[in-house]
């Protein structure tokens, strides 16, 4: 219980501030946002984006928020995979930034935001954790508050397809917000 002092006409209360975890991590320089743009799929292909935690990163990945947006042309499905290997060749997104731009030099994430378009096949290994379906031109968004946690070597993959209209074209973007926390373990390269 907090201590406070009161007299007949005033009370002196202790000052308290509750800081959201996202702000706290941003102030530390370890909160990042980024997105994969111009993802194209449909015509019997899929697209994906993922937050990949390299095996020698020495950080844990805490996913705070994800969005799937600007999907056009057809109803779509977004599958959320934990620690899966996606089809296709990954490309690293350069559309990533720390949210605290007052730190000089700017913080650099150890987590890699990767993506691929027009891939054939499905993810392998890992766990398909959940699935969302949406209509064209709708946005899927969820705030996870850091409850999705991935160690070095782990990943969160969002896999997009149009199973209800497999020959239709579609395009869109996937965005993420996350923070990183150091883990102290030996990494053998």
Which residues have C-beta within 8 Å of that of residue 131, sequence separation ≥ 6? 77, 78, 79, 80
User: What is the per-residue pLDDT across 104-150, written as a single tens digit (0 to 9) for each?
Assistant: 999 999 999 999 999 999 999 999 999 999 998 889 999 999 999 99
Grade residue 3 by pLDDT with cuts at 50, 70 and 90.
Answer: low
pLDDT in tens, 38-97: 999 999 999 999 999 999 999 999 999 999 998 877 899 999 999 999 999 999 999 999
Domain positions in the chain are: 39-182
Cβ(153)–Cβ(50) under 8 Å? no
Q: 6 vs 162, which has greater pLDDT?
A: 162
**Looking at residue 168, what DSSP letter applies?**
S
CA distance linking residue 156 with residue 50, whole number of Å: 5
Task: State both tokens at 176.
Answer: 């993420």
**The predicted structure's pLDDT at residue 1:** 46
Cα 87-93-96 angle, rounded to 5 deg: 140
């Amino acid at each position: 219980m907090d201590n406070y002092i009161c007299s007949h006409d005033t009370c002196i209360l202790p000052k308290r501030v509750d800081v959201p975890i996202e702000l706290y991590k941003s102030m530390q320089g370890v909160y990042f946002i980024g997105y994969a743009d111009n993802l194209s799929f449909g015509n019997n292909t899929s697209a994906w984006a993922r937050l990949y935690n390299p095996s020698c990163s020495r950080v844990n990945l805490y996913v705070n928020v994800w969005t799937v947006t600007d999907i056009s042309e057809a109803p779509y499905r977004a599958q959320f995979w934990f620690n899966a290997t996606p089809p296709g060749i990954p490309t690293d997104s350069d559309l990533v930034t720390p949210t605290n731009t007052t730190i000089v030099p700017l913080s650099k994430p150890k987590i890699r935001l990767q993506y691929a378009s027009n891939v054939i096949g499905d993810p392998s290994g890992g766990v398909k954790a959940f699935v969302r379906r949406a209509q064209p031109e709708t946005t899927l968004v969820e705030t996870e508050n850091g409850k999705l946690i991935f160690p070095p070597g782990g990943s969160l993959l969002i896999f997009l397809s149009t199973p209800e209209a497999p020959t239709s074209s579609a395009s869109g973007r996937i965005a993420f917000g996350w923070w990183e926390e150091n883990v102290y373990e030996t990494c053998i390269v």
